[in-house]
Every structure is written in structure tokens, then in C-alpha cells.
Amino acid sequence: MSNDYDIIIVGAGMVGATLACALGQQGFRVAVVEAVQPDFNWPTDSIDQRVSAITCASQKIFESIGAWETMQAQRVSPYQEMRVWDATGNGAIHFDSADLGVPLLGHIVENRVTLFALHQQLEALDNITLLTPATITQLDISTDHAQVALDDGKVLTASLVVAADGSRSRLRELAGIETSGWSYHQHGVVAHITTSKTHQYTAWQRFMPDGPLAFLPLADGSSSIVWSTTPEHAEALLALDDAAFLDQLQSTFGDSLGRMLACGPRAAFPLRMQHAKAYTLPRLALLGDAAHTVHPLAGQGVNLGLADAASLAEVLVNARQQRQDIGAHKVLRRYERWRKGENLAMIATMDGFKRLFGSTKPVIKWVRNVGLGLTNSTTPVKNLIMRQAMGLEGDLSRLAKGQSLGGDQ
Ligand SMILES: Cc1cc2nc3c(=O)[nH]c(=O)nc-3n(C[C@H](O)[C@H](O)[C@H](O)COP(=O)(O)OP(=O)(O)OC[C@H]3O[C@@H](n4cnc5c(N)ncnc54)[C@H](O)[C@@H]3O)c2cc1C
């Protein structure tokens, strides 16, 4: 019996949609199941509450699958510098793309802009079937196929089913894959803020004992904030009127960007570290937030997921070239071995940062302020951190290097 599809991807967020584009462009027959029908009709003068720092490696992935041009035409905001400082001392660090001889460190992009560009690419591919709004209700894995049932009664079969359905992945749950992790006891408050000084193409981050406060530069000169703080404080911040909120923001951040003039709607997201105990089973793979979530303090979450998508696509294309079964566990384990180590290293780094900057112990405060100063004055270390933040270190996929998946470049 032949399967309906080669691959079923559950979840068409930034990660699932990227994987679908990469595989669809390679001729795989792909079904994408997405719970929320995307709505791309937003007022042109509005800015999405959710933005992401997109690394240079992720930009290359978007370029490779043809989405970057649409993203640029919509709105992306380059940043050239990052300034990080500790509110409880004088430790500070300044990263500048000029030190690496490159024009920028990355871009801040509204999540809906990225999704719009990816969906434009998906719609152009006849071998992709987007099923939305639809969710999965059942998973059955047998020796030669995976089968999923949808809430509208449809049943789909494929050689491989992929979970890209986010941190509370239903597919991961149906597959019985457990996660480990813990709450950071912080919520991330997000909002769009207008300041009297423009951002100077700089991402700013001030570390407070309750969590970091980041100002990310937007294309119109304003900034998008991620204010990580205790759940109680986050709730109180959401309840304030705009003027009182801006007052608190001003006193917490200081005057590096002048006066806080206006803010858009606010929202808060609970922050958790979570890691799936396995990324693969026979005929099943997890990626993106379904496999791992990290603290947003270094803006790496979706970038790790995009790296997963590019690596999985490469493994599957290679397997097909070698006439191997793309759902075989030994094939999928190549993806798991490739990505698990890199993701765990980032999780550990983010966790270490969170603990280091969250401590009020005098000795730790001293260590981090001295450490920031030393790192700032040690060019090779600083450059390595910058290259890591840009996604340029580690075992990069062909797409992240700007090469085609067919390996013909
Ligand atoms: C405050 C905050 C700031 C952040 N800032 C950054 C940043 O600057 N840079 C960065 O790299 N990362 C950042 N992140 C992390 C980033 O947002 C996530 O890592 C990223 O969104 C994960 O993408 P994903 O596609 O894996 O999952 P999601 O974005 O969660 O997408 C999952 C998709 O699956 C769909 N879905 C869910 N369940 C089902 C189902 N049962 N059936 C079908 N479809 C389903 C959902 O509708 C959704 O479309 C931030 C996170 C937070 C909370």
C-alpha cells in the first residue's frame, strides 16, 4: 500500500513551515497540519507584538528557501551592535559587528512577517497540502508507515511524521516521548515601545536580579521589549495603565534610549526550560519548540528550531539519494545526533546565564561584573561569543551555509 504523503508535518509555525518549504522544494510530497488558520491581513501601520532576533545562519536558511526576499520587502530591522550590562554593578559588554568585519549581527523580524513569507513559498508548491484549521487526534506507527487521524475525521499516512507543534506538542504526547525541564519562575512581558532616542541599530539588554530587560530595534526606530521578571511582577506590569508602565520601564532600564514615550498592547509568556528525552522514534521526529525550549535572553529559540529544520531536511535528502527509507530510525538518529548536542549546549549556556545574573550573592555579583569587564576587553573571546550568537559556530547545515540541499553549489 503506498502512503498518501512522504512526510506529514504537524504545526506550521516558523519551524514547521521552514521544514515544509525545504522538503517541498526537493520534491517530497508533504502534508502540513496546522491548528490555527493563518490570517495575514494586518493593518500596515501596526507592529506584531511577537518579534524574533534572526541570526545570520537563519537568514541564510530563509535565503536558501526563497523566503528572505519577501521578509525584507515586508519589514526587517538589522542590528549592528549589542550592549549588555548588569544593573547591580558596573560590568558591561559591547559587541560590534565592525569588530568582526561584517555589516551586522542579525535582524529583528516580526514573527508574522516570517510566517507570511514562508506561507507564500508553501502556496507556490503543488506537492504541499496545507490542512488548516486541523489538529491531530491519533497517531499509529507501524513498520512501513505512520498514520495520523485529524479532528475532522480524515486519516493520513506517510513514511514519516514530524512534530513541529510547539512546546506543548500534542504529537510528542501521543508518541509517549517525555520531557525534562523546569520553570524559570519568570514571565516574559512583551510590548512595542517608542523612545525619545532611536535605538542606534543596537540590541540593548540590562540584567536585573529578577531577569533581563531587552530592547530590540525595530525598523521605524522604536523598540520591542522582552522584560523577563517574576510571574507576580509580570501580572502587575500588565495591570498598570500605560503611563505607570512606562514609568516603571524607565526606572528599570535607565535613560540609554532617552525618555519612554509610548507603548503598544502588552502580553506575557511563561518561560520554561524543556527538553524532549528523545527527538526521534521510528517514523517520527520532533523539532523546534516541540523538542526544546530555552530562555529568550539570547534570542536563540527559533534559531535553534530553524537549524533543526535545515538539518532534518538535509538528512532526509541524503537518505533519499542513498535509496534509504526516510522514516527508518537509523536515518532519523543521524538528525538526532546532529542536533541534540548543539541544542543541549545552548540550553546549558542560557541556564548558566540566567543563574549567574539572577544571583544576589555578593561573591557572584563580583564574579559577573569582573567577568563582563574581562570578556569585554578580551577580543578573541568576544569575537567567539559574537560568532556563536550569529549562529556561525558548530556543525552548520548546507542551508545555513547558503548552499542548496542538492549539494550542487
Ligand atoms: C517572549 C519570547 C521572546 C522570544 N524571542 C525570541 C527571539 O528573539 N529569537 C528567537 O530565536 N526565539 C525567540 N523566542 C522563542 C521562539 O518564539 C520559539 O522558539 C518559536 O516560536 C518556536 O517555533 P516553533 O515553530 O517550533 O513553535 P511555535 O511557534 O509554537 O509553532 C507551533 C505551531 O503548531 C501549531 N499547533 C500547535 N498544536 C497543534 C496541533 N495539535 N495540531 C496542529 N497544529 C498545532 C500552532 O498553532 C503553531 O502554529 C521567544 C519566545 C518568547 C516566549
pLDDT in tens, 185-219: 999 999 999 999 999 999 999 989 899 999 999 99
Is residue 65 over pLDDT 70? yes
Residue 90 lies in a domain: no
- The finding on whether 135 has its CB within 6 A of some atom of ligand 1 is yes
Report the pLDDT averaged over residues 58-71.
97
Are 217 and 323 contained in the same domain? no
User: Is 409 a residue whose pLDDT tops 60?
Assistant: no
Q: How far does residue 7's CA lie from ligand 1's centre (Å)?
A: 21
Q: What separation in angstroms does the CA of 258 have from each of 108, 197, 330? A: 21, 5, 56
Nearest residue (CA) to ligand 1, atom 9: 299
Using most ligand atoms within 8 A of CB, pick from 289, 343, 349 the residue to mutate for ligand 1. Answer: 289
Statement: residue 233 has pLDDT above 90: yes
**Looking at the DSSP assignment, which residues form a beta bridge with residue 106?**
55, 79
Average pLDDT over residues 320-328: 97
Q: What is the pLDDT of residue 108?
A: 97
In this prediction, residues 27-55 reach a mean pLDDT of 94
Q: Could you tell me the CATH number of the domain that includes residue 327?
A: 3.50.50.60
Q: Is 191 exposed, middle or buried (0-12, 13-18, 19+ CB in 10 A)?
A: buried
Centre of ligand 1 to C-alpha 166, Å, is: 5
Q: Is ligand 1 within 6 A of the CB of residue 18?
A: no
Instruction: Kindly state the greatest CA–CA separation across the chain.
Output: 67
Percent of the chain with pLDDT over 90: 78
261 and 294 assigned to the same domain: no
Model's pTM, two decimal places? 0.95
Q: Average of pLDDT values for 13-38?
A: 97
Q: Which three cell numbers, joined as nine digits, stand for 148? A: 495520523
Terminal CA-CA length for the chain = 37
* Residue pLDDT, tens place only, 211-227: 999 999 999 999 999 99
Does residue 53 lie within any of the structural domains? yes
Q: Distance from the CA of 195 to the center of ligand 1, in angstroms?
A: 28
- Quick one: 198 and 343 in the same domain? no
Domain annotation covers residue 85: no
For residue 86, pLDDT over 50 is answered with: yes
Distance 264 CA to ligand 1 centre (A): 21
Rounded to the nearest 10 degrees, how much is the dihedral formed by the CA atoms of 229, 235, 238, 243?
-80
User: 129 lies in a domain?
Assistant: yes
Give the dihedral of Cα atoms 294, 299, 301, 304; nearest 10 deg. Answer: -120
Gap from CA of 370 to ligand 1 centroid (Å): 35
Range of the domain at 245: 183-271
Specify the pLDDT at position 1. Answer: 58
| Contacts (Cβ under 8 Å, ≥6 apart) of 168 | none
Is ligand 1 within 6 A of the CB of residue 48?
Answer: no
Q: Are 150 and 136 in contact (CB under 8 A)?
A: yes
User: Ligand 1: which residue has its CA nearest to atom 14?
Assistant: 301
Distance CA 195, CA 240 (A): 19
Residue nearest to atom 1 of ligand 1 (CA): 188
